[in-house]
Amino acid sequence: MLKFMSYLLEGLCMLVEERLKLIKGIAEEIVTEEELARLLEEKPSPVAYDGFEPSGLAHLPFGVYRPLLLRDLLKAGVRFKILLADWHAWINNKMGGDLEKIRLVGEYFIEVWKAAGVDVDKVEFVWASELVDSSEYWRKVVLIAKHTTLKRAFRCLTIMGRKEGEMKETAQLLYPMMQCADIFQLECDMTQLGLDQRRVNMLAREVGPKIGLWKPVVVSHHMLLGLEGAKTPEGYDEDVDIDIAISSKMSKSKPQTCIYVHDPPELIAEKIRRAYCPPRQVEWNPILDYAKHIVFRAFPKMLVERPSKYGGDVEYESYTQLERDYVEGKLHPLDLKNAVTRYIDQLISPIREHFEKNRRARQLYEEISRYEVTR
């Protein structure tokens, strides 16, 4: 309690402009910035919603990138309610649709965040299985469904990594309605998820006032690329940019394009060496993506080590400098890859160590490693 009060006072002391700057620093899109500024003026500690399906071993976006974003958001005075979406994972047939396995993966997720440095005293973890015991929750689900067309519901299926042709069970249509209801049931002022969740967040903004509730502010963060770069869109409507981003994101269900937080240094190096990284090209380049969104967010500078015959070591104070040299051909893809490998391993190392030394964490990891991951 004392820790939380200290955290709240810290947020009160920070100017709205400073808090807004911190939040904008992690955002790819804000809907709307004016509403966010007003929210920060009215509430010293607004409540943000985020949610995760417990669905397999933690990867770079979950175990490294998301904690880095949380660090700045918590500093801005945002109070997080993190939904461990076990029922959603069940509906989405993750872990073979086994709720007991899904629950263990959720407990493992919490251990990953502890290991990554997330102050769990400053976030509230809520299980979806607790929300569904409430009749009021299901009333919200039905109200949202009554104000959502079938076409709109199908469009929202990309939030669960599905497209219309993959629909096999009627229960899957409940998923977007439930995610909307989560936001309101948890009394969240804003949503703070990846850009791949934009469609359901915008649905919440539209439906909220229609059912006598509020319009949450939507703060969407970047989605890290998978190691193969851009992939053919798997969506099915006109929003091509988001569909490409969703199809190209790093997914823990696709091991060949993914870095896990348990990968040893030599495996991380091997994966990054094989990654898509064309010379001079910025667009859809995953290695530059990691440099921008992970390395320069976690470290003030980035050192690229290379032999003197290739120009010697060079240190970059900003991503802009690094990108300029890369585009001009002054930085070779292999040198970039080696540097990014070193920094990513440095960030993953404490997580690996936690799961080696902490008995409960190790037991969870060993158990989950035996599970078959299902999409």
pLDDT at 11: 47
236 and 273 belong to one structural domain: no
> CA 328, CA 332: separation in Å to the nearest integer?
10
41 and 183 belong to one structural domain: yes
> CA 62, CA 69: separation in Å to the nearest integer?
10
Domains contained in the chain, number: 2
68 and 192 belong to one structural domain: yes
pLDDT at 2: 55
For Cα atoms 3, 7, 11, give the angle at the middle one, nearest 5 degrees.
170
Which CA distances in Å does 351 have to 33, 69, 347?
Answer: 35, 17, 8
The domain of 136 spans 2-245
> CA 316, CA 320: separation in Å to the nearest integer?
9
pLDDT at 256: 83
At residue 139, φ and ψ (nearest 5 deg) are -60, -40
> CA 258, CA 250: separation in Å to the nearest integer?
6
> CA 248, CA 217: separation in Å to the nearest integer?
26
* 375: in domain: no
DSSP 59: B
Tokens encoding 174: 């409940």
48 and 106 belong to one structural domain: yes
pLDDT at 122: 87
213 and 267 belong to one structural domain: no
CATH code of residue 160: 3.40.50.620
Instruction: Give strand pairing partners of 52.
Output: 84
* 374: in domain: no
* 343: in domain: yes
**Last residue of one domain, picked from the residues 245, 273, 305:** 245
What letters, b where the CB count within 10 A reaches 16 and e where it falls short, cover 173-197?
bbbbbbbbbbbbbbebbbbbbbbbb
189 and 123 belong to one structural domain: yes
Please return the burial class of 216, using the count of CB atoms within 10 Å of its CB with bins 0-12, 13-18 and 19+.
buried
**Number of residues that make up the chain:** 375
pLDDT at 255: 81
Residues contacting 2, CB < 8 A, separation 6+: none
273 and 195 belong to one structural domain: no
* 19: in domain: yes
103 and 139 belong to one structural domain: yes
Dihedral (Cα; 297, 300, 302, 303), 10-degree rounding: -150
What letters, b where the CB count within 10 A reaches 16 and e where it falls short, cover 14-25?
bebeebbebbee
Tokens encoding 340: 């990014």
CATH code of residue 304: 1.10.240.10
* 217: in domain: yes
pTM of the model: 0.89
121 and 72 belong to one structural domain: yes
Tokens encoding 202: 């915008």
> Smallest Cα–Cα separation from 83: which of 125, 118, 141?
125
Longest dimension (CA), the chain: 70
pLDDT at 374: 64
pLDDT at 161: 64
58 within 8 A of 109, measured Cβ to Cβ: yes
pLDDT at 120: 85
Q: Strand, helix or coil at 162?
A: coil
> CA 119, CA 314: separation in Å to the nearest integer?
34
81 within 8 A of 48, measured Cβ to Cβ: yes
**Last residue of one domain, picked from the residues 190, 218, 245:** 245
Q: Strand, helix or coil at 103?
A: helix
* 123: in domain: yes
pLDDT at 210: 96
175 and 290 belong to one structural domain: no
13 and 147 belong to one structural domain: yes
pLDDT at 206: 96
Beta strands at 47-52 and 29-31: parallel, antiparallel or unpaired: unpaired
Q: In order along the chain (375 residues), what is the average pLDDT of each group of 10 residues?
A: 53 77 95 96 95 93 95 94 95 91 96 92 93 96 95 82 67 93 98 94 96 97 92 58 79 86 96 96 96 97 93 95 97 97 97 95 94 70
163 within 8 A of 21, measured Cβ to Cβ: no
96 and 231 belong to one structural domain: yes
Report whether the peptide linkage leading into residue 32 is cis, meaning its omega lies within 30 degrees of zero. Answer: yes
pLDDT at 121: 85
* 212: in domain: yes
pLDDT at 236: 46
**Last residue of one domain, picked from the residues 245, 274, 308:** 245
pLDDT at 157: 83
> CA 26, CA 29: separation in Å to the nearest integer?
9
* 324: in domain: yes
